[in-house]
Structure 1
Amino acid sequence: MEKLERRQLKRSLKPHWVWAIAFGSAIGWGAFVLPTDWIGQAGPIGVVLGILLGAILMMVIGVSYGFLIEKFPVTGGEFSYAYIGFGRGFAFMAGWFLTLGYICIVALNASALSLLAKFLFPEFAAIGTLYSVAGYDVSIVQILIASTVLVVFALLNIRGTSFSGQTQFIFSLILILGILMLAAGAMFTEGPSLSNITPGFEPTQPAIASVLAILAIAPFAYVGFDNIPQAAEEFKFESKKAFGLIIWSLLAAGLAYAFMIIITASTMPWQNLLAQINEQNSVWGTGDAIESYMGRTGVFIIAAAICMGIFTGLNGFYLSASRLTFAMGRARILPNAFRSLHSKYHTPYVGIIFTMSICLIAPWFGREALLWVVDMSSTGVAIAYFFCTATAYKMFKWSNKQPDKNIKTVAAPGRKLLSLLGMISSIIFLILLLLPASPAALGQESLVALGIWVLLGVVFYLFNSRRYNNLSDEELNYLIIGREKI
């Protein structure tokens, strides 16, 4: 029957490419743009502790991902896992919120390139200033820069997964080299000193509040390691290797973040650095910090590194957003166009074009307004993490004495405990983001943006729910996981 047509993606990804997709996506532009913002929020040690603790919690969550990827090596990630564990409605919820997270990060990576241009060539970037949004000047040059990079990387991703994987690995190596060169500069030039990172925590709040404020953004900081399950159907290797790739990508990302925080904070007493940035109304505090001890050479190095971070982020999240919408289209909960594959390159090009089209709107609203949307996208990512860990929890048993219920389970008490801890971590992330009294609570603008996305999801669901819900369990199992029985 035509309705049971299940198009599949080609297996072309090598292990080191997949590691680079996860690592590069998790780092993105954040390690090079956000250090001064985070330091002002929590102090250098508060940021490092929060970011490394976040990496550990992501590794705990990664245990569930590794198991589910090995058992269900299909594209769709959390959408597929939520379906396995909780059914159709929750599958759409997980997929829809995660789509939001991926698209937001593609848009923010593109805007980071405009920010870099504004720092390096302020007069050029100001040409054609149109208006201000939330105090941020929007110019036609910045819009063109962000739009161009969005179009270019959309076209590159349409050309094929192998090309994306190869370039991602090269970009990741250059990014790591850039961080090591900045660290060497800090060690062997005058000025930078570890004594500058004191006080370690933001002095106006308890140390635990500083750590929690950074911990709450861990889903955003490390989103990218979960690009691995989105690419699972395209692995050219055994799916059981996925867990190791997750752990190594998270470890590398956590260390990269920590290195950049310490490098930035060590350039001068960090409170003086922040005061100087505010006084000069700087558009890129981290760039100012690097320039203070390495001059224009340092600016060139960090500019190259941030370009690699931007490129890896664009590559990775274009891949993931298109694979997620492809899986949802294949399950008939999104329009049929999303399950189409390019006639020549065999890529889900409609999802790539859809992501690009939405992201092309973002540069017109300015970076500050976009940050409101990205802040709330952490909520969507945390929801997706919850469904993954909760599904794994249901599939593990404390012992062989427990009977199987709706799905076949395995006795693995250690992994069941870790999946439980992953569930708790996801809930903690959501509480920190949504509880008004939390030090990391979303602002009003972010909550409004979240509400709009929820309403849009309801509309999509209502338009497509009839055929989605009319499919039998066996048919939907086949479309989502490739076989009629879970």
Structure 2
Amino acid sequence: MTTNNHNMAARGEEQLRRVLGLPALVFFGLVYMVPLTIFTTYGIVTETTGGRTAGAYLVTLAAMLFTAASYGIMVRRFPVAGSAYSYTNIAFGSNVGFLAGWSLLLDYLFIPMINYLLIGLFLNIAFPAIPAWVFVLVSIALVTVLNVLGIRSVAKASNLIVGAQVIFIVVFVALSCNSLGNAGPVDYLSPLLGDGSKPGFNPLMAGAAILCLSFLGFDAVSTLAEETRDARRTVPRAIMLTTLAAGVLFTVLAYLSQLAIPGSHFENADTAANEVMFTVGGQFLANFFTAAFVAGSLGSALASQAAVSRIIYSMGRDKLLSERCFGTLSARFGTPVNATLLVSLISLVALVIDLGTLASLISFGALVAFSAVNMAVLRTHLFAKGQPKNLLLHGVVPLIGLALTLWLWTSLSALTLSIGLAWFGVGVVYLLVLTSGFRRNVQVADFSEAG
């Protein structure tokens, strides 16, 4: 009797564990990607593309859909693994996997930084008497203290923050439509065709490359594979739907914003979103946007700093970094204090770096990861012995995804490519030391926790 009850309990636990369906996964993915992320680089991309941000989003979306399909193919075969690092490790071994993780680490280190920079920029608009650097320092100090203390209740605010952003989007769309209805003649093709200041396809691709930042996190859906009903079928569909829904949302918001302020010139490209809000809804909408955007940036900074601190801690624990400095937890707080402080120190670069370069560097890391996933599909499916092959699904789809991500990657600025490749080169040298000249495989930390 005891055995039977135990088996029934075990089965019940398994059923309780796998409770997520397609709608829940798509909602999770959209929440993770942050709805207002479009306004992070709106002004920069509008100037780069000559007023074609909406068109640039369509280009980026096309590339992301093929890459999302590659993620889905990998999830279908490896339903537990959930990151570009994991898939590269599976496909090419731990040494190549380490380099993929090293490239992703660039993203993880810079995501908190861009949030601090944005908080400073937009709060300076609301309170011009206070310099932006003051807000940057205060936000770094606040987030660092909260992460050191391990304040779990902060996570509960995430739903409230996302809810406020959703409400803002509804209000913004309504006011935009009302404003256009009361305006004179409107050129509805201008957000796609631009103002003629930056003609040609290259500026469009340069803007599209920067916009990869907006799609960071669509693959986070795969981290819930073990809690999803029929994960091999549901998770790939959720990844595709999340990418498509986010891309459509970003494109619509960019389209409406460019109808509100046609052209590609702003008083300050970094904070162009504030100009759009003031034009569409006056001071009310501008204040609402600042509150929702800063709250979202603060929440993202909390989560991203915690994530990268755990990565650094795990690297220290696995002796990829100094175990004494980074591989231990605080006896008092139970958090990786040294790793958290290191991330905070690196984030001080937000005081001197410009938003465009920072956003491009994050996109650099993302594109390396996306390229790695497309190549992993080719290696594990098309070129693996003894595996059933589908030339269209396992060959054409990842090849197109790879070609598009490489095209976007090479469309980034020369400065971005130089810094990104220098970071990658440091990783190669470091791997050379860790493996005694590539004579053995490196023991790798698990980067997948960061999503």
Seen in structure 2, the aligned counterparts of structure 1 residues 318 and 223 have a Cα distance that, compared at 3 Å, is same
The yes-or-no answer on 1:184 pairing with 2:191 is no
Amino acid of the residue matched to residue 211 of structure 1? Answer: L
SS at match of 1:360: helix
User: Distance between the aligned counterparts of 2:274 and 2:75, measured in 1?
Assistant: 39
Instruction: Give the aligned partner of residue 256 of structure 2.
Output: 263
Seen in structure 2, the aligned counterparts of structure 1 residues 409 and 326 have a Cα distance that, compared at 3 Å, is farther
The yes-or-no answer on 1:428 pairing with 2:407 is yes
Instruction: Give the aligned partner of residue 111 of structure 2.
Output: 105
Residue 336 of structure 1 and its aligned partner are, at CA, apart by: 4.8
Residue 105 of structure 1 and its aligned partner are, at CA, apart by: 1.9
Q: Is the 8 A contact 2:60 2:208 kept in 1?
A: yes
User: Distance between the aligned counterparts of 1:149 and 1:409, measured in 2?
Assistant: 51
SS at match of 2:217: coil
Instruction: Give the aligned partner of residue 411 of structure 1.
Output: 389
The yes-or-no answer on 1:372 pairing with 2:379 is no
More helix by share: 2
Residue 12 of structure 1 and its aligned partner are, at CA, apart by: 11
SS at match of 2:411: helix
Q: Is the 8 A contact 1:386 1:426 kept in 2?
A: yes
Seen in structure 2, the aligned counterparts of structure 1 residues 251 and 372 have a Cα distance that, compared at 3 Å, is same
Residue 122 of structure 1 and its aligned partner are, at CA, apart by: 0.7
Residues 96-135 of structure 1: pairs in structure 2 closer than 5 A: 96-123=102-129, 125-126=130-131
Q: Is the 8 A contact 1:290 1:298 kept in 2?
A: yes
The yes-or-no answer on 1:382 pairing with 2:389 is no
Instruction: Give the aligned partner of residue 461 of structure 1.
Output: 431
Seen in structure 2, the aligned counterparts of structure 1 residues 197 and 118 have a Cα distance that, compared at 3 Å, is farther
Seen in structure 2, the aligned counterparts of structure 1 residues 214 and 247 have a Cα distance that, compared at 3 Å, is same
Instruction: Give the aligned partner of residue 81 of structure 1.
Output: 87
Deviations 1:6-47 (A, max 9, x none): xxxxx8996777655643453465422432332222244x32
Gaps of 5+ in 1: 1-10, 127-137, 434-441
Seen in structure 2, the aligned counterparts of structure 1 residues 471 and 456 have a Cα distance that, compared at 3 Å, is closer
- The match for 2:101 among 95, 98, 107 is 95
Q: Is the 8 A contact 1:219 1:381 kept in 2?
A: yes
Deviations 1:145-196 (A, max 9, x none): 331453266358x556x974x5444433322221111110112247657815
Instruction: Give the aligned partner of residue 236 of structure 1.
Output: 227
Deviations 1:42-72 (A, max 9, x none): 244x321220231232121112212323443
Residues 197-236 of structure 1: pairs in structure 2 closer than 5 A: 199=190, 200-229=193-222, 231-232=223-224, 235-236=226-227
The yes-or-no answer on 1:292 pairing with 2:279 is yes
Instruction: Give the aligned partner of residue 135 of structure 2.
Output: 142
Residue 339 of structure 1 and its aligned partner are, at CA, apart by: 7.0
Q: Is the 8 A contact 2:108 2:308 kept in 1?
A: yes
User: Distance between the aligned counterparts of 1:322 and 1:374, measured in 2?
Assistant: 20
User: Distance between the aligned counterparts of 1:31 and 1:12, measured in 2?
Assistant: 33
Q: Is the 8 A contact 1:26 1:224 kept in 2?
A: yes
Residue 81 of structure 1 and its aligned partner are, at CA, apart by: 1.4
Q: Is the 8 A contact 1:142 1:363 kept in 2?
A: no
User: Distance between the aligned counterparts of 1:143 and 1:468, measured in 2?
Assistant: 41
Seen in structure 2, the aligned counterparts of structure 1 residues 18 and 360 have a Cα distance that, compared at 3 Å, is farther
Instruction: Give the aligned partner of residue 129 of structure 1.
Output: none
Instruction: Give the aligned partner of residue 377 of structure 2.
Output: 392
Amino acid of the residue matched to residue 103 of structure 2? Answer: F
Instruction: Give the aligned partner of residue 62 of structure 1.
Output: 68
User: Distance between the aligned counterparts of 1:424 and 1:72, measured in 2?
Assistant: 24
Residue 95 of structure 1 and its aligned partner are, at CA, apart by: 0.6
- The match for 2:288 among 301, 324, 342 is 301
Instruction: Give the aligned partner of residue 55 of structure 2.
Output: 49
SS at match of 2:254: helix
User: Distance between the aligned counterparts of 2:310 and 2:195, measured in 1?
Assistant: 41
Q: Is the 8 A contact 1:110 1:147 kept in 2?
A: yes
User: Distance between the aligned counterparts of 2:278 and 2:425, measured in 1?
Assistant: 45
Residue 291 of structure 1 and its aligned partner are, at CA, apart by: 1.0
User: Distance between the aligned counterparts of 1:468 and 1:393, measured in 2?
Assistant: 24
User: Distance between the aligned counterparts of 1:311 and 1:75, measured in 2?
Assistant: 29
Q: Is the 8 A contact 1:40 1:202 kept in 2?
A: no
User: Distance between the aligned counterparts of 2:77 and 2:314, measured in 1?
Assistant: 17
Q: Is the 8 A contact 1:26 1:223 kept in 2?
A: yes
Aligned residues between the structures: 424
Seen in structure 2, the aligned counterparts of structure 1 residues 33 and 424 have a Cα distance that, compared at 3 Å, is closer
SS at match of 1:361: helix
- The match for 2:162 among 172, 178, 201 is 172
Seen in structure 2, the aligned counterparts of structure 1 residues 424 and 455 have a Cα distance that, compared at 3 Å, is closer
The yes-or-no answer on 1:362 pairing with 2:370 is no
- The match for 1:39 among 43, 46, 54 is 46
Seen in structure 2, the aligned counterparts of structure 1 residues 207 and 351 have a Cα distance that, compared at 3 Å, is farther
Q: Is the 8 A contact 1:103 1:359 kept in 2?
A: yes
Amino acid of the residue matched to residue 226 of structure 1? Answer: D
User: Distance between the aligned counterparts of 1:340 and 1:195, measured in 2?
Assistant: 60
RMSD: 4.0
> Identity, % of aligned pairs?
18
Seen in structure 2, the aligned counterparts of structure 1 residues 448 and 481 have a Cα distance that, compared at 3 Å, is closer
